[in-house]
Structures are given as C-alpha cells and as structure tokens.
Amino acid sequence: MDLSQRKYDVIIYGGSSITAKYTLKEFMVYNLKMAVAGRNYDRIDKNVDYVVDILECSIENIEKISKLTKILVNCAGPFIFCGEEVVKGCINTGTHYIDVTGENIFIEKILHKYNEEAKKKGVLILNACGFDSIPADIGSEYLKRNMEGINKSITSVLQFEKCQINKTSYISLVHSLSAIGELRKIRGNKKKISKEGKQPIKKLTYSKETKSWWTIFMGTDIAIVKRTQKYFKEHGEEPMKYACYIDTGNLFNTILFWIGFFIIFAMAKFSFTKKLLLKFPTFFTNGIVPKTKPTEEEIEKGKFKMLFFGESYVDGVLTKKKLTIEGGDPGYVATPYSAVSTAQVLLEMINQNKVTGGIHTPGSVLDIYKMVNLLEDKGITFKIE
C-alpha cells in the first residue's frame, strides 16, 4: 500500500479536545505534515495554539479526511460512541489508525468486528496508545526482554501524585461501567482467548515492597498485555505472565477508594443515577474530576510512577528484576508523549514498508527499544535495577 502521495503524515481527529491540544503541541516539535480535524472549525481554532491546517469533518463523512493522511490519531472520546465509524473509515481508505482510548468495551468490539477486514486491507489499527496502555505494554515487554531465564512473570503497580482526571475520561469510565454486560457478551461470543499472559491476580493485596495496599487495576492494561503475550506465543516466543494493580495507599484510603468505586459502579447501571454521575462528576469523584480545565501549573504538578516487579528462573534459581517508569501527568503529558512516540515509530515502519495489517497491540508490533528511547527523549524515564 503506497501512502507516499498523501497530503499529510498525521491528522489528529477530535481537534477541539484537550487531549488533542497537548498531542498537537508535542507533534509540532517534529517536521511533519500535520492537520487537525473535527466537527466544529471554530472550536478547533480556539483550542489550537499553532499554525496548522484545520479540517472540518463529522463522523458521518470521516473518509473525506482519512484519505488525505498516512496516519489518523483519534482523540475524540468517548470512543464507545463515535470511535467505530472512525476505524471503519480508516480501513476503507487504507489509513493507519492510532487512538488513546482506555475503554475495554470499544477495543473488544472493534477487534471482534474489524480485525479480519483490517488484515485484508493491510491497515494497522492500534488502540490504547496513550497512558492506557503504553507504559504497561511497552514497559512489561521491555523488562521481559531484559530478564534472563524461563517462567517469567511481571507484576506492575501504578502510583499517582497530584493528578486529575479530565471530564471526557470520566464520562468514558461511566459508560464503560454501564456496558460491563455487553463486554461480557462480546467476550463470551468469541473464541476463548489463551490464558498465556495472565497470572493469578487478587482484587486487594498488601505489598511489602511499597508498604501500601494494592487494588486490582480495572483499565485496559491487563487485556492489552495479555494480547501482546498471546501474539508472541503464536510467533514462537515464550510469553510472560502479568498482573497489574493501582497503589491505593493506607488501609483507610483503600476503603474509601472501594466505597467510591462501588457507588459509581452501582449508579452507572441505572439510567437515572447514571445521568447524575454524568451531571456532577466533581461531586462524585471528590474533586478528582475538576469543574474547570487544569492550569499549566496544575498539570506540571501531576506525576505518575509505574513499578514493575519481574521474576524468572535461571538454572532453577529464582531471580528478580525491577523496572521503574516515571513521568508527568498521565492525561496531559504521558498520553500525548505516548501517542506521538507511537506515530513516530509507525511512520518509520510505513516508510520501510514493514506494516502488517490488523488490529494489534502496541507492544506486539512496535519496536520496543525505539519506543523506550523516544519516550525517554520526551522525559519519561525507564530504570531497570
């Protein structure tokens, strides 16, 4: 598939979103042919701080813009509502696709419906290329490749400092929780997925490593990493087993976390209470979802740390390795860095004609070491000890 004559290297769709704003900011560091697209020209124009082409386009005629670019980066959430049409448009026009979704229901739905078609057309579809789930997928594979021996297993835990959740991410979470039944139905209708890549995971556990409580992480990380490891097993490599958690601190904070989660989970099931969740996000998250967009100063204060604890057996002896990934705010810094790094590696693959079509995970098809180097260049550190 020859994309050399396309007008743009990358088009960002969802151009009026705050994610698109910071993703474009990172892209502008590089000498790429860029455009930003979305449904409302004026809203995009107000959101964009750079001189760049703005393309007005609705979901219904997405192919009008997808045919102009080598890669479309989708920042228009919640993806459960409009992401499928964008994926379909990219497949129809032979355009490679990247998104920053953290919605399991959306990922599973398009994997089930469009994987074979994407393979036939030679179009690469990459979901979860933001904070969900680049650190987990790239990080776990990077540590695995730096471990010796056999029977490798990795456990990760996420730690946050002064981070906020943007409203769109919260809306996506609420809708994802309300669609748990649909997700189970999709998974139930599919051929059973290999258990490779999965290790026993507790909903709650105390860690002597961090001296804190860990709670099961219910985002996309575990599903994405499992698929990556399944891919490597199918291609003759030994997979590693993986479990992931979020650090919820002391017992009191952990109890509050679970109470808050169960309230939101229960309310998301019913239309009336779901509307309340969507109408009052700041109240129901105790301020984690702010009423207004964060200031640059607030974004700079946000940090994340992801710890990976690896174990393997070398000549029958248990050996351990640890990887620490650290970076800025997950939504406003790490997500743009992750998406742009993914696009950079994919553009190189396009230029070298090394793209394999289908719906894949980042860790299964991207060069792990190039991804790590690009992320480190942007300020996300990887330290193995």
Q: Which CATH number fits domain 134-329: 3.30.360, 3.30.310, 3.30.70, 3.30.1360?
A: 3.30.360
Q: Once rounded to an integer, what is the mean pLDDT over residues 182-198?
A: 61
Q: Which helix (H) or strand (E) holds 153?
A: strand 150-161
Identity (one letter) of the amino acid at 141? E
Q: Which residue in the block uniquely carries the two structure tokens 């964008």?
A: 86
Which of 250, 162, 163, 172 has the alpha carbon at shortest distance from 206?
Answer: 250
The yes-or-no verdict on residue 191 having pLDDT over 70 is no
Q: Which helix (H) or strand (E) holds 349?
A: helix 335-351
The percentage of the chain sitting over the pLDDT mark of 70, rounded to a whole number, equals: 97
The yes-or-no verdict on residue 249 having pLDDT over 90 is yes
Domain boundaries, the chain: 8-131+332-377, 134-329
The yes-or-no verdict on residue 243 having pLDDT over 90 is yes
Q: Once rounded to an integer, what is the mean pLDDT over residues 303-329?
A: 98
Q: For residues 121 and 25, give the distance between their C-alpha atoms in angstroms, rounded to a whole number.
A: 31
Assess contact for 212 and 249: CB atoms under 8 A. yes
What is the chain's mean pLDDT, rounded?
Answer: 94
- Runs of H (alpha helix) within 148-307: 167-178, 180-189, 221-234, 251-267, 271-279, 281-284, 296-301
Q: What is the pLDDT of residues 28-77, one digit of tens each?
A: 999 999 999 999 999 999 999 899 999 999 999 999 999 999 999 999 99
Assess contact for 113 and 85: CB atoms under 8 A. no
188 pLDDT band (50/70/90 cuts)? Answer: confident
Q: What is the pLDDT of residues 263-276, one digit of tens each?
A: 999 999 999 999 99
Q: Once rounded to an integer, what is the mean pLDDT over residues 133-145?
A: 98
β-bridge partners, 153: 241, 311
Q: For residues 52 and 367, give the distance between their C-alpha atoms in angstroms, rounded to a whole number.
A: 29
The yes-or-no verdict on residue 222 having pLDDT over 90 is yes
Q: What was the pLDDT predicted at 117?
A: 98
β-bridge partners, 324: 307, 383
Assess contact for 142 and 363: CB atoms under 8 A. no
Question: 352: buried, middle or exposed (CB in 10 Å: 19+, 13-18, 0-12)?
Answer: exposed
The yes-or-no verdict on residue 194 having pLDDT over 60 is no
Q: Once rounded to an integer, what is the mean pLDDT over residues 250-268?
A: 95
The yes-or-no verdict on residue 198 having pLDDT over 90 is no
pTM, entire model: 0.94
Query: What is the distance, to the nearest Å, from the Cα of residue 241 to the centroid of all Cα atoms in its chain?
Result: 20
Assess contact for 65 and 55: CB atoms under 8 A. yes
Q: What was the pLDDT predicted at 164?
A: 86
Q: What was the pLDDT predicted at 189?
A: 61
Q: Which helix (H) or strand (E) holds 66?
A: helix 63-66
Which superfamily does 8-131+332-377 belong to?
A: NAD(P)-binding Rossmann-like Domain (3.40.50.720)
Q: Which residue in the block uniquely carries the two structure tokens 């189970």?
A: 184
Q: What was the pLDDT predicted at 192?
A: 47
257, 261, 263, 269 alpha-carbon torsion, rounded to 10°: 180
Q: What was the pLDDT predicted at 1?
A: 76
Q: What was the pLDDT predicted at 6?
A: 98
Assess contact for 189 and 322: CB atoms under 8 A. no
Q: Once rounded to an integer, what is the mean pLDDT over residues 363-374?
A: 98
Q: Which residue in the block uniquely carries the two structure tokens 């690009």?
A: 374
β-bridge partners, 308: 156, 323
179 pLDDT band (50/70/90 cuts)? Answer: confident
Sheet holding 204-207, edge to edge: 204-207, 212-216, 241-249, 150-161, 303-314, 317-328, 381-384
Q: For residues 133 and 307, give the distance between their C-alpha atoms in angstroms, rounded to a whole number.
A: 14
Q: What is the pLDDT of residues 284-296, one digit of tens each?
A: 998 889 988 889 9
The yes-or-no verdict on residue 23 having pLDDT over 60 is yes
